[in-house]
Structure 1
Amino acid sequence: MTATPPRWTVEQFTVAADTSTARFRELRMQEPLEQYLHSYEDHRHAVEVLLERTVDLAALHLRAPEVLLEPELLTAVRFLASPFISADDLKTVAQTTLSASALRADDWAGARRVVDAVLLGLDRHRFPWVGEDRPPTDAEREAAVVATASLAATQSVQTARRTSSKDDQEQRVADYLVSRGFAQVPPRAMASVTDLPAPGEFCREALFGSRKADLVVRTRDGRAMPIECKVSNSSINSVKRLNNDAAVKAVVWLQEFGHLVALPAALLSGVFKVANLTAAQDQGLTLFWEHDLDALGAFLDAAVP
């Protein structure tokens, strides 16, 4: 008899979700402050250098060709605005890329547009002296440096956290699969069953049908389990990551490969609402938890010829 993927009751989802949320809280409380402090010092130095080279921003246009070519100073320039301007938004608003060649083009016209875009959104509370056309006081300069470095460091840490959480989760799943005797193979596009890894193999970051999966596992009985790794920091965020992404992919994969071949799954960590978990499961998505990888292992052990 073919092994059936686990389906969880509301009570089981409730216990698992509570455990996952508790682990999320513990992780967030234990995250070292050093990561932020190190980032803050780096950004503080960049802001100080930027103010020094531009005479407290009075010569920002004049110094644009110099400061915009240094990545750290370019980041500091983006955080002069409030809210800060992302690199992608700045490219759009300034109608240029941020490459050295683009900034140099047409006698630095692109660089001037970058500065114009930033100054248009300049935070007047942090840099009051610019609009008043005067030098800053020592206290104003220090307050501006501290506030700007703090904003940049916070954003940097948050971005790194989102990226590393997902990457770490994928790596843990990959390591676990290897520990269960599965072999990792290079990724490939899988348009049909003939493109799948061999039974007992898996690959990462692969196109499964028309949608990319974080991992694709070929069970030993020949079925394919595309796995999406999802880390959520709130129940609202979980709707986007689980229901609007992973569950939608599950429906597509089942249509493309059929229920006899495809076993869409998601590996979860963080905060999820029970109602959203139930809805995703009802759409054909098998759910596992990062804190209980042995449930995944038990199914894979049972899925044999």
Structure 2
Amino acid sequence: MSVTEENRKNAERARKLYVEGADPVGEATDWAASLAEIRLQVVAALAASHDLRDLRSALEADGKHMLIFRHLLAPPKSQDQFKLLCDEWSKGSEKSGLPQKPNAVRAVSEVLVRWMDREIAPWLSANRDATEVERERLIERVISFIAPKLTDTQKRNRLSAEQETAVVKLLRSLNWTQLPSVTIDTRAAVAPKHFMNKTRFATATTTAQEVDIACGFAASYVAAMECKVTNDATNSVKRINDVLKKAAAWKAHWGSFVETAALLQGVIKPEDVQRLTDEGVRVFWSHDLDAFARWVQSRV
């Protein structure tokens, strides 16, 4: 893959600004919040499962406990890794908290028991109550696994929210009108010089895909723009893949009437930027919003 000089320069500029904008105080606050949040979740999961002796009851009460249980396995499992071990499990239940069907809960519990790290929960093999020291050791270990990832997510979400806010303010300053967010399922759903924030585009073969900003252009054309902030080059692969997946779904359903765009910020590999442009996704940068302003104004 040949990376254009423009993509390389913009990626380097974004990385430099990301490093220069690092905020020790803000990130320390994110870290402290993550530690407190995960501690509460571990304590809740232990209480709901009677110190891991009754996993089924905990899962029947709240699917979110799986976040904790997955990190008590030897070794801890990602969602995708656990799904390979237990196809009956619904990954979405971990986010929604909804309980699953009894058969699914039974299957999940069996896998958890089989893979549970007995070293961190010695009371299970000894068939006794956990001591306060053992319980605290378990809590601290789970926190050490999850808190760094949660802190990165919180930082990315915070920067992404700021990124979207900057786009909304820009569009309003250009006298664009913000519409209530509804599922876009017809070509004329977004009139020229109108936009929606956090809405969905209907697709033919998949569920409606959420888009950060939808801008109405002339002749019923619409721009679907994803705002992406990445903390490191590895994370950029996932974020770019997400944009490309949505772009493919929109193109299959809408053809050329939906133009996919991406507003990028943070640490992004030049090769990932090139993947976007090679697939026809228009790339813009948070450090050059004027380029985005000129583009949307030229389309109405």
Q: TM-score, normalised by structure 2?
A: 0.70
State whether residues 163 and 227 of structure 2, in contact with CA within 8 Å, keep that contact through their aligned partners in structure 1. Answer: yes
Residues 292 and 254 of structure 1, relative CA distance in 2, 3 Å threshold: farther
TM-superposed deviation, 1:11? 3.8
Residues in 1 aligned to 2:79 and 2:192: alpha-carbon distance in whole angstroms = 44
Residues in 1 aligned to 2:50 and 2:217: alpha-carbon distance in whole angstroms = 64
Picking from 284, 287, 294, the partner of 1:288 is 284
Residues 270 and 189 of structure 1, relative CA distance in 2, 3 Å threshold: same
Alignment of 1:1-305 (within 5 A): 10-27=4-21, 30=24, 31-45=26-40, 47-48=42-43, 57=52, 60-61=53-54, 65=57, 69=61, 76-82=68-74, 83-84=76-77, 86=79, 89=82, 93=86, 95=88, 114-131=108-125, 140-186=134-180, 187-192=182-187, 195-204=188-197, 205-207=199-201, 212=209, 213-219=211-217, 223-242=221-240, 245-246=243-244, 249=247, 253=251, 256-258=254-256, 263-303=259-299
Residues 68 and 297 of structure 1, relative CA distance in 2, 3 Å threshold: same
Q: Write the letter of the residue equivalent to 1:119.
A: V
State whether residues 230 and 265 of structure 2, in contact with CA within 8 Å, keep that contact through their aligned partners in structure 1. Answer: yes
The count of residues paired between Structure 1 and Structure 2 equals 285
Q: Write the letter of the residue equivalent to 1:17.
A: A
Residues in 1 aligned to 2:116 and 2:260: alpha-carbon distance in whole angstroms = 47
Q: Which runs of 5+ in 2 are unaligned?
A: none
Residues 220 and 150 of structure 1, relative CA distance in 2, 3 Å threshold: same
TM-superposed deviation, 1:21? 0.9
What secondary structure sits across from 2:116 in the alignment?
A: coil
State whether residues 62 and 98 of structure 2, in contact with CA within 8 Å, keep that contact through their aligned partners in structure 1. Answer: no
Residues 232 and 35 of structure 1, relative CA distance in 2, 3 Å threshold: closer
State whether residues 17 and 274 of structure 1, in contact with CA within 8 Å, keep that contact through their aligned partners in structure 2. Answer: yes
1:245-286 alpha-carbon deviations (Å, 9 max, x no partner): 43882796499554xx65442211122333443453344322
TM-superposed deviation, 1:301? 3.8
Q: Which runs of 5+ in 1 are unaligned?
A: 1-8
Residues in 1 aligned to 2:148 and 2:128: alpha-carbon distance in whole angstroms = 30
What secondary structure sits across from 1:217 in the alignment?
A: strand
Residues in 1 aligned to 2:89 and 2:255: alpha-carbon distance in whole angstroms = 43
Larger radius of gyration: 1
State whether residues 250 and 285 of structure 1, in contact with CA within 8 Å, keep that contact through their aligned partners in structure 2. Answer: no
Equivalent pairs: percent with the same residue? 24
RMSD: 4.4
1:179-230 alpha-carbon deviations (Å, 9 max, x no partner): 22111113342443xx242221112323176574432212468753322222
State whether residues 36 and 153 of structure 1, in contact with CA within 8 Å, keep that contact through their aligned partners in structure 2. Answer: yes
TM-superposed deviation, 1:155? 4.2
Residues 217 and 56 of structure 1, relative CA distance in 2, 3 Å threshold: closer
Q: Identify the range of structure 1 (145-154 vs 237-246) with the bigger mean alpha-carbon deviation.
A: 237-246
Residues 33 and 250 of structure 1, relative CA distance in 2, 3 Å threshold: same
Residues 255 and 45 of structure 1, relative CA distance in 2, 3 Å threshold: closer
TM-superposed deviation, 1:33? 2.0
TM-superposed deviation, 1:177? 1.1
Residues 277 and 76 of structure 1, relative CA distance in 2, 3 Å threshold: closer
State whether residues 30 and 154 of structure 2, in contact with CA within 8 Å, keep that contact through their aligned partners in structure 1. Answer: no
Q: Identify the range of structure 1 (20-29 vs 172-181) with the bigger mean alpha-carbon deviation.
A: 20-29
What secondary structure sits across from 2:229 in the alignment?
A: strand
1:167-186 alpha-carbon deviations (Å, 9 max, x no partner): 54334322321122111113
Q: Write the letter of the residue equivalent to 1:44.
A: R
1:16-70 alpha-carbon deviations (Å, 9 max, x no partner): 211211233345553422333233234335545665787755xx13x85378636
